[in-house]
Amino acid sequence: MLGIVVFVTGASVMVTEIVASRILAPYIGTSIIVWTSLIGVILGGLALGYYWGGRLADKAGSYFLLRNILFLASVYIFGVSQASGYLLTRLIEANADIRISSLVSSLTLFLPPTILLGMVIPFAVALSLKEVNKAGRVAGGLYALSTLGSILGTFWCGFFLLADIGSIKILVLISLLLILIAILLNFAAEKAKTLWFLILLSAALLFVFIAAGAKVKEEGLLLDTDTLYSRVIIKAGREPETGRETIELTKGRFIESYAYTQGDDLFGYYNYYDLASIFNPELSRVLMIGGAGFVYPKHFLKTLPKTLLDVVELDPAMLELAEEYFGFTPNPTLQVYHEDARTYLNSTQKKYDALLIDVFDSDITLPFQLTTVEVIKKYYEALTPKGVLIVNIIGQIEGEEGEFLRSEYLTYLQMFPFVELYPISDAKDGSRIQNIMLVATKNKQEEISKDARIAAMLGHRWEKTIEGKAIILTDDFAPVEQMMAKRTRWDYLY
């Protein structure tokens, strides 16, 4: 019986850790900083659980107490499944530093249940140990079962559960499993009490009813689901300035796709990708890295129907969601590749007239592997002699908080002789955090257009000298998240 207990709790720890990243993602992202806090808290919780559990097991170890520990862990995990959104929303409103908010969130939500689950193995060892000369065999066997549970829980959650039932229901499932284990332990207790059995059984049934009940939907919420790669939230809303109906898709802390539900005009920074045809009028094949809601590919296919468009989008679910919610319709000139952008660039033999990049990891940072001089060399090699590269970066140019943007600019200059910046919201204020389009070309291009919209965008070119601390980013050293963590406030983006 105790072997089953440690196996289930071992699986519960790892499943909870994986799900924790999805719980945190819409509020504080899943950057290396968030993962550092989460892993550190989980390991710290296990260490405290082992220590306190060992002392308590020696002092008053019993099936009765072990059952109560499992019951408390179950209740707390269920509480996290229901109340995490409220707490994390309050943290966002406080606009705390990402390092502080990720640590506080992890401590509050996941330290207590991890401590409780960590106490299980010392109890199991104490209750299983009959002879001192078999202590090593008993302890080793139980730790092996716990680790095996952790391994299977990791694969079970990562490969199947997240995409099948979602993060909240997984936590409810873990809570129910722990309750069931506690009920089984009730029969193993030397002084089993029928009252406790009824209480635990009632709690289990109550959890089932609550989990099966209708979920109160957030205003405008159209979809909240987990794919194999991320938690995806799609909402309907209205643009504050105009009142126009909008739809947005988020996969982390900030919006990844945003579109008007009526009309063909683009929102904000998407328009700047149209500059590709100004810098290189001879567009026959274009590559876009990052699809998300396929907002710009939809526009591209309509305005340039004869130009071939390849889109690299890691998550296969994004194309389906784009068709269902964003009105995207593929056509024969479109080819979508569901793989990591870096692996695609390593293997492709195609040459492109334009390369458009709109991809973020979390907390609106670019994946570090798409910021380095090594990948920029791949971009350069994938472009034709007249090719143009346009990448969306969120940051600022001036001040200490602009170190990442300046470093990325400097890194691009290692391969491309001509690199320009186009701040979207305010072309004069370099201290403002905003969408900034980086344009890189192999040859100097004349940017002239009689179109008022295009001319207005070209007028946003940054004309001042770019000064301040900056480094060349490499695969070996690219502290992207640490640079971006220096930000202390956010202006309105786009």
> How sure is the predictor about 228, in pLDDT bands with cuts at 50, 70 and 90?
confident
Per-residue pLDDT at 386: 94
> How sure is the predictor about 483, in pLDDT bands with cuts at 50, 70 and 90?
confident
* Contacts of residue 377, Cβ cutoff 8 Å, sequence gap at least 6: 415
The rounded distance, in Å, linking the Cα atoms of 31 and 20 is 13
Per-residue pLDDT at 480: 82
Write down the mean pLDDT value for the chain: 86
Average the pLDDT over 244-249 and give the result: 92
Residue in the block written with tokens 């966002």: 92
Is 212's pLDDT higher than 50?
no
Per-residue pLDDT at 188: 64
Side-chain-facing half-sphere of 76: CA atoms under 13 Å? 19
The rounded distance, in Å, linking the Cα atoms of 405 and 365 is 11
Percent of the chain past pLDDT 70, that is, above it, reads 88
Is 472's pLDDT higher than 80?
yes
SS3 of residue 434 by DSSP: strand
Are β-strands 255-260 and 285-289 bridged in parallel, bridged antiparallel, or unpaired?
unpaired
- Do the two domains 2-212 and 266-484 of this chain adopt the same fold? no
Percent of the chain past pLDDT 90, that is, above it, reads 48
Convert the pLDDT of each residue in 158-203 to its tens digit: 888 877 787 888 999 999 899 888 888 777 665 545 556 656 665 6
CB atoms within 10 A of CB 103: 19
Per-residue pLDDT at 353: 97
Q: Which carries the bigger pLDDT value, residue 457 or residue 94? A: 457
Average the pLDDT over 233-261 and give the result: 86
Range of lowest pLDDT (104-113, 253-262, 357-366):
357-366
Residue in the block written with tokens 């989990």: 211
Token representation of residue 52: 């306190």
Per-residue b or e along 249-285, where b marks 16 or more CB atoms closer than 10 Å to that residue's CB: bbbbbbbbbbbbeeeeebbebbbbbbbbbbbbeebeb
* Contacts of residue 273, Cβ cutoff 8 Å, sequence gap at least 6: 296, 300, 356, 358, 390
Name the CATH topology of 266-484.
Answer: Rossmann fold (3.40.50)
Average the pLDDT over 218-237 and give the result: 85
CA dist 99 → 38, 72, 481 (Å): 11, 29, 10
Contact, 155 vs 50, CB < 8 A? no
Which range scores top for mean pLDDT: 181-190, 295-304, 438-447?
295-304
Q: Where are the domains of the chain?
A: 2-212, 266-484
The rounded distance, in Å, linking the Cα atoms of 359 and 365 is 9
Q: Which carries the bigger pLDDT value, residue 484 or residue 400? A: 400
Q: Report phi then psi at 383, rounded to 5.
A: -95, 145
Per-residue pLDDT at 363: 58
SS3 of residue 384 by DSSP: strand
The rounded distance, in Å, linking the Cα atoms of 267 and 255 is 12
* Contacts of residue 376, Cβ cutoff 8 Å, sequence gap at least 6: 411, 412, 414, 415, 416
Is 24's pLDDT higher than 80?
yes
Average the pLDDT over 2-31 and give the result: 87
Rounded to a whole number, what is the distance in angstroms from the first to the last CA of the chain?
58
Range of lowest pLDDT (2-16, 59-73, 459-473):
59-73
Residues involved in catalysis: 358
Is 13's pLDDT higher than 50?
yes
Is 493's pLDDT higher than 50?
no
Is 307's pLDDT higher than 60?
yes
> How sure is the predictor about 216, in pLDDT bands with cuts at 50, 70 and 90?
very low
Contact, 288 vs 301, CB < 8 A? no
Amino acid at 126: A
Domain 2-212 matching CATH 1.10.443: the answer reads no
Q: Which carries the bigger pLDDT value, residue 482 or residue 192? A: 482
> How sure is the predictor about 385, in pLDDT bands with cuts at 50, 70 and 90?
very high
